[in-house]
Amino acid sequence: MIKFNQIPYTGKEMEYIEQAVKSNKICGDGQFTKKCNAWIEQKTGTRKALLTTACSTALDMAAMLTEVGPGDEVILPSFTFVSTANAFVLRGATLVFVDIRPDTQNIDERLIEDAITDRTKVIAPVHYAGVGCEMDTIMEIAKRHGLKVVEDAAQGVMSTYKGRALGSIGDMGCYSFHETKNYSMGEGGALLIRDSETAEHAEIIREQGTDRSRFLRGQVDKYTWVDMGSSYLPSELNAAYLYAQLEEAEKINNDRLASWNRYYNKLSDLAAKGRIELPVIPEGCEHNAHMFYIKAADIDERDALIAHLKKNDIMAVFHYVPLHSSPAGRRFGRFCGEDRYTTDTFSRLLRLPMYYGLKAEEVDRVCETIEDFYSR
């Protein structure tokens, strides 16, 4: 059987977990958490990176830091995971969904301005499949209207847009290290923060609303409760697992890209014949092969293809029931403009097996099974 996903494992994970245990520190912010934070800061050039318990909680923190509240509006795509929306709904904000582009499945930057009202506070672009949104345009719009930008870069670790790391371009960015992502700690994530004032505030929110970090650095002589917050620190055990993979990030990235390119080349004939659509990587975007997807002609063909792959022991999945058509999405938000591509993409897109260590023969077998489907 060819699995859809396989958890990443590079070899040093257990040794590092043992080190954490032997150092008698398995709660948050030990040596491995610090190493992971430093790795992210160095790799992305962001001012501050803080490991969190999930990308979802990094988004929750980011939403708190933007200080949105009831009556405020947040612009985001409907074609995304629920975490992007939940973070702002938890602050009482209203969601304004904007359509996506048919090439990258990212928010269509040309439609954002039409969605801006005098209540808009935040734009939350999502870098689908680790391919960058059109960030220059988004940042320019945000600047002109005085809005904050929170990047959902859950899928974008190791990807860049015009040379800049995804997650480091907006005011804040959020990474995921969930089991299904390129680099994993089981459950976990990170918050990336561009300016120092917000970074200090983020440390406070992350540690139960206390100024403990400042206290540990000797900047205040006692630590106390100064704001709202919660516990967003992951365990050192999880950070130890992650650090082993961050050390091997290039290797993992290259391995995934090799699989991605092999899929792309093998399936290009079918795409040239107009039977399927392949992902598009815009000029200036370096991606991380987070996923390989194709688009079938319609939902029936997509479902038949998933079934055909399954019959051949190959696991493929579809993605994202559009948020604006879900019960909570209808309750907490509205779609601005026309849904030309969001529901269409949900209906036609399927994701093929993709993970570190996927073999070339396996990619070939998936492609041959797809060709077989379309030859009938």
Ligand X SMILES: *Cc1c(COP(=O)(O)O)cnc(C)c1O
Where does this chain bind ligand X (CB under 6 A)? 54-56, 80-81, 83-84, 126, 152, 154-155, 176, 178, 189
The Cα–Cα gap between 348 and 345 comes to 5
The Cα–Cα gap between 140 and 125 comes to 13
The Cα–Cα gap between 250 and 204 comes to 33
Q: Shortest gap between Cβ of 84 and ligand X (angstroms)?
A: 5
Q: Shortest gap between Cβ of 189 and ligand X (angstroms)?
A: 4
Residue 338: CA atoms inside 13 Å, Cβ hemisphere, count? Answer: 2
Smallest Cα–Cα separation from 149: which of 204, 34, 161, 335?
161
In the chain, DSSP assigns E strands to: 48-52, 73-77, 94-98, 120-123, 148-152, 160-161, 164-165, 172-176, 189-193, 285-286, 292-295, 333-335, 349-352
The Cα–Cα gap between 193 and 37 comes to 12
Q: Shortest gap between Cβ of 167 and ligand X (angstroms)?
A: 12
Smallest Cα–Cα separation from 77: which of 295, 281, 317, 343?
343
Nearest to ligand X of 167, 189 (CB atom): 189
Nearest to ligand X of 80, 342 (CB atom): 80
Q: Shortest gap between Cβ of 351 and ligand X (angstroms)?
A: 11
Length of the chain equals 376
Q: Shortest gap between Cβ of 63 and ligand X (angstroms)?
A: 13
Would you give the DSSP letter of residue 295? E
Nearest to ligand X of 62, 270 (CB atom): 62
Q: Shortest gap between Cβ of 81 and ligand X (angstroms)?
A: 4
The Cα–Cα gap between 152 and 128 comes to 9
The Cα–Cα gap between 241 and 101 comes to 36
Nearest to ligand X of 94, 155 (CB atom): 155
Nearest to ligand X of 20, 85 (CB atom): 85
Nearest to ligand X of 184, 347 (CB atom): 184
Nearest to ligand X of 256, 275 (CB atom): 256
The Cα–Cα gap between 91 and 89 comes to 5
**In sequence order, what are the residues at sequence separation of 6 or more whose Cβ sits closer than 8 angstroms to the Cβ of residue 21?**
237
Q: Shortest gap between Cβ of 137 and ligand X (angstroms)?
A: 20
Q: Shortest gap between Cβ of 224 and ligand X (angstroms)?
A: 30
Nearest to ligand X of 189, 229 (CB atom): 189
């257990």: which residue's tokens? 14
